[in-house]
Structure 1
Amino acid sequence: MQTTHQIRTYQAPIWAKNPHFQTIAPRVLWRRSKARLQWQQFELNDGDFVDLAWQNQFANDDTRPILLLLHGLHGCAESPYIKSLMQVNAQLGWRMVVMHQRGCSGRANRFWRSYHSGETDDLGQVVQMIKQRFPLAPLFAVGYSMGGNILLNYLIGEPKNPIQAAISVSAPLKLGACADAINKGFSKVYQRYLISLMRSSLVSKHRSHPNRIEHLKLRNSSTFWDFDNVYTAPVHGFVDAADYYQQCSPKTRMATIKTPHLVVHSQDDPFMNHEVLLEPTQVSSHGQYLLTQSGGHVGFLEGEMNRPQSWLNHVIPSYFKSQLE
């Protein structure tokens, strides 16, 4: 069993108690932050590609730790949680690389298929490339939201993987429950926004893949159940959305993970409900589970209202530093 790393407790400030504020505000707070990135087109084994965005790629020290970031659904290097961590890493000096899932870098991928919560082959190829290029560098990984699911599914399926330690933040560990939760109350706003982004992305690709799907069904998809039944499941080899959700939800297999890892959830996450949260028996002997009372979805704001900070940007470097010791 790994040594438990003591993590500073999260307590939401008075001005950030609302879970929707926690979820939405970071998009405004870190909107203007910029980082100097070096871009790499990485060719996949099946003929498609993903784009990687590096920070400090050309640093001289080949033993410098590498932090691999996996964005959430339809996220990218411009996502607020990634931009804010890059600000921290500018001081830390590690190499950092954002793996854009297929079609998420601002460029359409070549194939009609894209990515999903159980798509770990692309990640595996990127991890292998990084370790071949920097064999002496410790490799850490952080997955946010859907990226957290992909990361955890990879750790489950590849117990001898080269990742030294990993962190999952606000991952929808039980997909069906999340699809139900985000279809209720104010959370429908998030669902509508995300579905519109995914539909727009596919509609633009539909011109070059006109026979792959009925355009009207795609346009009429208004829930995750609809979208995943029409697109995600059939295109990626699942019977239907229920089959996809069952096969790609890592919750019941978390205890098998051998890589040291930290899982962070908030009880007030508007994308989820209590079914997503882990029971003690579902936490691996190599893992830690941190459940906070508040924090929203990939929020966890703290500090003063006029100088807000991200609690995650303290937790992430601190946890990985403990794994180097």
Structure 2
Amino acid sequence: MLYQAPWWLPGGNLQTIYAALRSKRYLAEAPSFSRERWTTPDDDFVDVDFARHASADDAPLLVVFHGLEGSSASHYAEAFADVARVRGWACAVPHFRGCSGEINRAPRAYHSGDFEEIDWILRRFRRQHAGPLFAVGISLGGNALMRWAGEMESAAGEVVAAVASVCSPLDLVASGHAIGRGFNRLVYTRMFLSSMVPKALKKLEQHPGLFNADALLAARDLYAFDNIFTAPLHGFQNTDDYWSRASAKPHLRRIAVAALAVNALNDPFIPPASLPQAADVSAAVTLWQPPEGGHVGFPSAPFPGHVRAMPEAVCGFFAAQVEAAQNQHHG
């Protein structure tokens, strides 16, 4: 991916924060979505938002898995939906449990390695859509998606034509500790906990005794939050067990479907030394590691900055996979 940051946005933090708060996400009108509620195998629900723009029945469907505390209103979700519209593709944003504006019912939420959830969601899309299926995961969603692709190995190709992760913490241990330090702790950690803690407390109201409320309220970083809430609710012993077992990086060599991993080298959350290199991935995985872009930023000039550069690059990768498959078939 060839990416050049605007001169007026130097550094990973500015590229991250500007993209989330100030950037332009679409060319004409804002994407609008219609919502479907899907019942999960454990009798809970997830809400899936479908972009309302027109597409042919056999056009590709782009599935966007959001990041930590994200939704279809996130800047990257709107940008991907608009890029899909221009290409004539359908687009859907499934919400991880508790992220659609309504608390889910089960005594669980969502986590970075939730590949079982990814699996049933993608298989349902596969059953109901005639055209090729592309899946992109942003940050946490991308780690879970790559974890799924590694678990499925060659079977992933029966469900999707290609997958991509964008700014994903593929080594959760390295990224988890990085977000708990310095500026990251002051700004990003505080922002995430401001929505995660109230949602966890609502979960405790639903299911009394699920965890210790005082311990949760004392949490000042994601490590502590995950130790009290995320890890035990999802079958992990503690944060260390969760972060190590949920990380996608050790599984990237098993991926057999076309996959793209995009990570900016100045991402404030993800230490560059923790990123996968060629030796860590299978031949099916393409690594794009541009020097700049921030965390799910990639704002592009001219002012005011758009955030379409990254979605357009990812969708270009997807389109090339279908084209290559068609040429191989006809050849």
TM-score range, shorter chain: over 0.9
2:328 paired residue number: none
Matches within 5 A, 1:296-315: 296-315=294-313
Deviation at 1:258, TM superposition (A): 0.3
Task: Tell me the alpha carbon deviations over residues 203-229 of structure 1, each in whole angstroms, 9 at most, x when there is no partner.
Answer: 123222121111111111111110111
1:292 paired residue number: 290
Among 303, 314, 317, the alignment partner of 2:315 is 317
2: CA distance between counterparts of 1:315 and 1:324?
A: 15
Among 39, 47, 50, the alignment partner of 2:46 is 50
2: CA distance between counterparts of 1:254 and 1:51?
A: 29
Structure 1 portions without partners, runs of 5+:
1-6
Count of aligned residue pairs for this structure pair:
316
Contact 1:38–1:57 (CA under 8 A) maintained in structure 2: no
Among 192, 195, 211, the alignment partner of 2:193 is 195
Contact 1:173–1:251 (CA under 8 A) maintained in structure 2: yes
RMSD: 1.6
Which range moved further: 301-310 or 123-132? 301-310
Among 230, 233, 238, the alignment partner of 1:232 is 230
1:109 paired residue number: 104
1: CA distance between counterparts of 2:219 and 2:192?
A: 11
Does residue 98 (structure 1) correspond to residue 93 (structure 2)? The answer is yes
Task: Tell me the alpha carbon deviations over residues 12-50 of structure 1, each in whole angstroms, 9 at most, x when there is no partner.
Answer: 121122211111112222489632211100111111110
Deviation at 1:307, TM superposition (A): 4.8
2: CA distance between counterparts of 1:307 and 1:19?
A: 15
2: CA distance between counterparts of 1:31 and 1:65?
A: 21
Matches within 5 A, 1:257-276: 257-276=255-274
Letter in 2 for 1:152: M
Contact 1:168–1:264 (CA under 8 A) maintained in structure 2: yes
Task: Tell me the alpha carbon deviations over residues 65-96 of structure 1, each in whole angstroms, 9 at most, x when there is no partner.
Answer: 00000000010000011112222222222110
2:137 paired residue number: 143
Task: Tell me the alpha carbon deviations over residues 106-160 of structure 1, each in whole angstroms, 9 at most, x when there is no partner.
Answer: 01000120110111122211111111112x3100000000000010011011120
Contact 1:299–1:310 (CA under 8 A) maintained in structure 2: no
1:118 paired residue number: 113
SS class of match (2:63): strand
2: CA distance between counterparts of 1:240 and 1:215?
A: 17
Structure 2 portions without partners, runs of 5+:
324-331
1: CA distance between counterparts of 2:143 and 2:273?
A: 15
Cα 1:227–1:307 change in 2 (3 A) is closer
Task: Tell me the alpha carbon deviations over residues 273-301 of structure 1, each in whole angstroms, 9 at most, x when there is no partner.
Answer: 13421122012201110111111100111
Cα 1:209–1:31 change in 2 (3 A) is farther
1: CA distance between counterparts of 2:69 and 2:6?
A: 29
Cα 1:289–1:31 change in 2 (3 A) is closer
1:3 paired residue number: none
1:4 paired residue number: none
Among 25, 34, 39, the alignment partner of 1:38 is 34
**Normalised by the size of structure 2, how large is the TM-score?**
0.91
1:21 paired residue number: 14
SS class of match (1:266): coil
**Normalised by the size of structure 1, how large is the TM-score?**
0.93
Matches within 5 A, 1:62-101: 62-101=57-96
SS class of match (2:64): strand
2: CA distance between counterparts of 1:107 and 1:275?
A: 38
2:177 paired residue number: 180
1: CA distance between counterparts of 2:202 and 2:231?
A: 20
2:150 paired residue number: 156
2:327 paired residue number: none
**Percent identity between the two aligned chains:** 32
Contact 1:303–1:309 (CA under 8 A) maintained in structure 2: no
2: CA distance between counterparts of 1:165 and 1:45?
A: 25
Considering fraction of residues, name the structure with more helix: 2
1: CA distance between counterparts of 2:209 and 2:69?
A: 24
